[in-house]
Amino acid sequence: MQIMLCAICNISSGNCSEDCKYCTQSRFVKTDIIKYKQKDIEQIVLEAKMAKKNHALGFCLVSAGLGLDDTKLEYICKAAHAVKKAEPELMLIACNGLASLDQCKELVKAGVFSYNHNLETSKEFYPQICSTHSWQSRFETNLNAKEAGLMLCCGGIYGLGESEDDRISFRKSLKELEPFSSPINFFIHNENFSIKPKKLSTDEALNIIKQSKKDLPNTHIMIAGGREAVLKERQYEVFEYGASAVVIGDYLTTKGEEACKDIQELEKRGFSFVTQCH
């Protein structure tokens, strides 16, 4: 079986004005994460080269914050051009919060292939995990990205205390957007978070993957944050439950499985890696 690997590059970290209760980059959460406004473009290119070496097809430029403004857009386009020049085969994904149609069009011009903006959870549950922006604004950003010609990478996070009905409603909304890929994150508990939901069990997490594939049969289900923490030694079973993509390397503010260990384990199980997305 062929699977798709994606790597994340945190190009602007922390100090986010928003109060998403599951995110260590929010300025409402006390954390000791490294914060910076703009990562050097040279460093981004180095990380892109490393991602390519690790068989990644997707390379995601992620910035903290509510959304794009002119300065940020210009910086991201510059980074996108530099990565494309150094590693033309990488599929560039931008993940920069709320974006207008015109801003998405600029990203397309800079060589970005896909936009990642997660709905995170159901529209009904969303106000309980964020009060500074609306779920609807997230949904609209996805519509803008789609209209601009970007492929959608849209998913969310499970284990925030949402109900089964919320999960059904969340996947129904994802289905409306028909994303190319859908990242599934599992909430990682942190004593500094104000929410203390019940921990997801491994079986529950695997079942979420299975249900996601059932509801989104034409979408790549991508396993992202929380893979190691929640699935532990069963993490490579995700493909039996419908996943066809994983994030390799570190996540935004948490450590991931070492990329080379992941690749070894995946190859040992007979997986090969997608090198083109069409």
Residue the block writes with tokens 């936009």 = 115
Is the CB of 16 or the CB of 51 nearer to ligand SF4?
16
23 binds ligand SF4 (CB under 6 A): yes
97 binds ligand SF4 (CB under 6 A): yes
Is the CB of 5 or the CB of 129 nearer to ligand SF4?
129
Containing 10, the helix (H) or strand (E) segment is strand 2-12
Is the CB of 120 or the CB of 262 nearer to ligand SF4?
120
**Coil, strand or helix: which one is 91?**
strand
Q: What angle do CA 11, 101, 27 make, to 5 degrees?
A: 40
64 binds ligand SF4 (CB under 6 A): yes
3-state helix, strand and coil shares in percent for the chain, rounded to the nearest 5: 40, 20, 40
Is the CB of 72 or the CB of 84 nearer to ligand SF4?
72
CB-CB contact of 38 with 75 (8 Å): yes
Residue 111's alpha-carbon distances to 15, 70, 94, 156, 164, in angstroms, are 28, 17, 10, 25, 39
Q: What is the Cα gyration radius of the chain?
A: 17
Please identify, among the stretches 16-24, 36-44, 103-111, 236-244, the one whose residues bind ligand SF4 according to the rule CB under 6 A: 16-24
Minimum distance from CB of 64 to ligand SF4 (Å)?
4
Please identify, among the stretches 21-29, 76-84, 142-150, 191-199, the one whose residues bind ligand SF4 according to the rule CB under 6 A: 21-29
25 binds ligand SF4 (CB under 6 A): yes
Which one among 11, 18, 96, 122 touches ligand SF4, defined by CB under 6 A? Answer: 18
Q: How far apart are the first and last CA of the chain?
A: 16
Is the CB of 97 or the CB of 225 nearer to ligand SF4?
97
Binding site for ligand SF4 (CB under 6 A): 16, 18, 20, 23, 25-26, 64, 66, 97
